[in-house]
Structure formats: structure tokens, C-alpha cells
Amino acid sequence: MHKIEKLFDINTLLMTLFSSLETIREEKGIELIYDMQATIPRELRGDSAVLLRLLTKILTFVFQNTDKKEIILSLEAPEDFMYEEPISFKIQKTNIDKEKILKFLETNLSKDLEMLEGKIIYERDVDIYLDIPFMINELGYRRHYRLPAASMLGKKVLLIGESEQVSQSIKKMFNYFLYDVDVGLDAFKSKGNDLTPYDILIIEDKYNTEELEHIIARVQQNIPLKYVLLQDDHHVEHKTISVSTHLIKPATEESVFELIVSLFKNEKDHREIRIQTKENIVDLEKILQVHKHNEKHVNPSTKYEENLKSMIEKRREIDLPVLDTKTGEENTKKMGLKYANELKNFLDSFDRSDIYFREIVNEKSIHKIKEFCIDLEKHAKLIGAENILKLAETVSLIFVYNKLELLPIYPGKYHIELQKLITEIKKELRIK
């Protein structure tokens, strides 16, 4: 079998993997963490499509069968990656029966492993352990990420995250660039609650408050502290007074590299001597504990629901025409149809459909809701019914993420929008 040796970026593959697992991750409320050794080359040669398929199969199986809320995918490689070396992919502590895991690996991965020339490693303390050989893109290339300026070297980071495992994974990635990283409030307290030595402050976005932002902004008047929010990929950004940028989970070596470059690309080459002042003393523990005390515990699925609601709210703010005849005429013309005929077809198909929609929502008939939304979107888009189209897309969004409990308000909304649209169509067709 001919082995494919195409060039690919391991970070891009890992982010694609993360996105492809979005639905099951959110359904199970599982956080996927990448733990990458500094020896992993940035660019590799091999069959990335098969590797992506294999890792997707593995993580889908793990997510379906684990009761853990954090799963770590570890990537390890030899210290001297000379030419072609094995990369180890490991997953530990899944709480899945070992025999079930081995049966899955041997039954479902054999073809992909053969194509990659990989093998299963049987080790008692590791649930899943695969060795897959890849070629390095550039021979003798030891440092896979090189900071472009001296001003980016020798920085100190304070990292305060919700998950210890996520924090330690990110710390390891900063350590690659020889950054000194303190993790957690205890480490910060041991330094006297003083932000003066730090170049970067990274805090989980759920802990961020307007009060904290004002405190950090005051500190930033004294020292060039970069304030970074650690956030998941569904976070809706808002304007802030002190936040420099965001680090999106799951972090990879490349995303940390890009973060550093973006933060310090305009810095001078020398580091200013900083003088400790009382203004840089901040009791972060007190601030964050107050925030946690006031905040009800939110599990991952509830947090995701809140972010989904935010996306829906943004859609509501968009002001669209009830019937955009110009767009509708262009759409029908492209398809060789007559606009007036399609308006009549919409009336025939969807007049009184608000009653049917209310019924299937009350029944929570998933299949019927899906079919109705697809049909409504198709016809609404064709005739330029922009407002109805937006509503149908929003309902589809709720359906896709299996949040049917958010649906009850939409039959009423659809009734109102449908009546407006029917009135506009009748005006266009001059029907009384």
C-alpha cells in the first residue's frame, strides 16, 4: 500500500478535530484538552485525512462511553526528531472498561492504522496508546516555533483558570518559549498579590467582571500588563477597557505562539525596570471569590445554552424587510421561474402553516420540525422573505443544538411574521 506523504500543520488538524466533535462535546459537557510536548514538529508529512478520521473515531468512542468531564489527548515525540519518527497519541483516565477499549481499537481502527503504518501500544496505565510514524518537513529543524523579536523573550505569566488540567497544559506551551508561568491564586498570593513582575495575566473569561477590568486598567497605567481572557469558542465578545486579546480553548502550541506575537509585536527590544508600588497589589482571590459566590454554579450544558441564547439575541437585533421583492425577483429569474408564480406557491403552501407549526412544537416532533424549517427556509429565501428566513434559521439553530425547551415562544412569533408576510404578498399580487 502506497503511503501518502503530504505536508500538513498538526495544529490545524487538531483544531479541525475539535470542531468536528463539537456536537457530541456539547451534548456530553466534555472539555477536550490538548497536551502537546515541545518536541512535536509544527509541520509533518503524512496522510492527515486518515489521521483526522482515526482521531475522530477514537474521541467519538471515548465521549460516548466516558463519564469524565475532561479528556486529555496527549501528543509525544522523541527529543531528536531526525527524519521519520513515531508520534504517540495517548488518552488516559477515561473510566471506560479496558476490554471494551481494546475491542474497539482492534475492530474499528485496523484499516486506518495500516494506512498510517501505525500500531496499538498495550500499556497497563494508558487507556489508548497509538504510535504513528511521521516525517519531519525540514531536516535538522529543532526549534519548531521561533519568536521573531528579542522583545518577545523572557516574559512572566500569571494564569488563573477554572481547570487545573487546562492550566497545566497551557503552562507547558508557554514553557516552550522559556516563559516563567505561575498557575493559580496560591502562587500569586505567595508573591504578595503583586502584579508588577508579570507581563501577561490570563484569566478564565467566566471570572471576568467590570470591576476586575477597571482594577486591571488602573494597574495598566503603571505597568505594561497584557490582560488575556481564556475562553471557549462560543464566547460572544464584548467591548472591554483593559482586555488585550483572547486565548481560545483548546490551546495549541501554535495558538500560544500567535498570542505572544500579537501581544508584543510593537514592543521595544529592552524591558523596562519596574518599581513595585501599592497600586499594583491586587487581591485577586477576594475579587474572584466574590464573583464565584454571586454566580450560581453553571454546568457546561447550561453555559452553552446561555451562549446559544446570546447568538439568538444577536439575530433578533437584525432588522430585515418582510418581503424584499428585488432579491426575490433576482432569485427566481436565476432559476428560470416567474416571481408572481412563486409568491402564489408560497401562499398555497404556507397559509395557515402557523397552526401546524404550533402543533409540532407542542408535540416536540423533532423530525417534523426539522422538515418544516428546511422547507420554510427554502421557500422564504427564494421569494426574498428575509424576516421569515431569519426566524426559520433561528429555529433551526435551536433544533441543531437540541435545545427544544427554547422553542415555545416561536409559534407566536411565527404567527405574527407569517401574517405580515401574507399581507405583503397579497399587496404584491394585488389580492384583496
Query: Is 304 part of any domain?
Result: no
Whole-number Å distance between alpha carbons of 262 and 226: 11
Give the number of domains in the chain.
Answer: 3
The enclosing domain of 88 has a CATH number of 3.30.565.10
pLDDT band for position 304 (cuts 50, 70, 90): very low
Residue 87: give the domain boundaries. Answer: 6-136
Query: Is 420 part of any domain?
Result: yes
Same domain, 250 and 290: yes
pLDDT tens string 75-120: 998 877 777 889 999 999 999 999 999 999 999 998 999 999 999 9
pLDDT tens string 49-74: 999 999 999 999 999 999 999 999 99
pLDDT band for position 29 (cuts 50, 70, 90): confident
Same domain, 93 and 174: no
pLDDT tens string 381-403: 899 998 888 888 777 766 555 56
Same domain, 158 and 195: yes
According to DSSP, residue 42 is labeled S
Whole-number Å distance between alpha carbons of 124 and 130: 13
Nearest to 125 by CA among 91, 82, 166: 91
Same domain, 284 and 348: no
pLDDT at 291 over 80: no
Q: pTM above the 0.85 mark?
A: no
- Of the ranges 140-149, 161-170, 194-203, 322-331, which one carries the lowest mean pLDDT score? 140-149
Same domain, 204 and 100: no
pLDDT band for position 200 (cuts 50, 70, 90): very high
Core vs surface per residue 145-165: b (16+ CB within 10 A) or e: bebeeebbeebebbbbbebee
Query: Which pLDDT value is given to residue 115?
Result: 93
pLDDT band for position 279 (cuts 50, 70, 90): confident
Whole-number Å distance between alpha carbons of 122 and 116: 18
pLDDT at 276 over 80: no
End residue of a domain, out of 114, 136, 158: 136
Query: Is 245 part of any domain?
Result: yes
Same domain, 178 and 250: yes
The enclosing domain of 220 has a CATH number of 3.40.50.2300
Residue pair 66/136 in contact by the 8 Å Cβ criterion:
no
pLDDT at 182 over 80: yes
Distance set, CA 130 to CA 72, 77, 86, 104, 114 (Å): 14, 12, 9, 13, 12
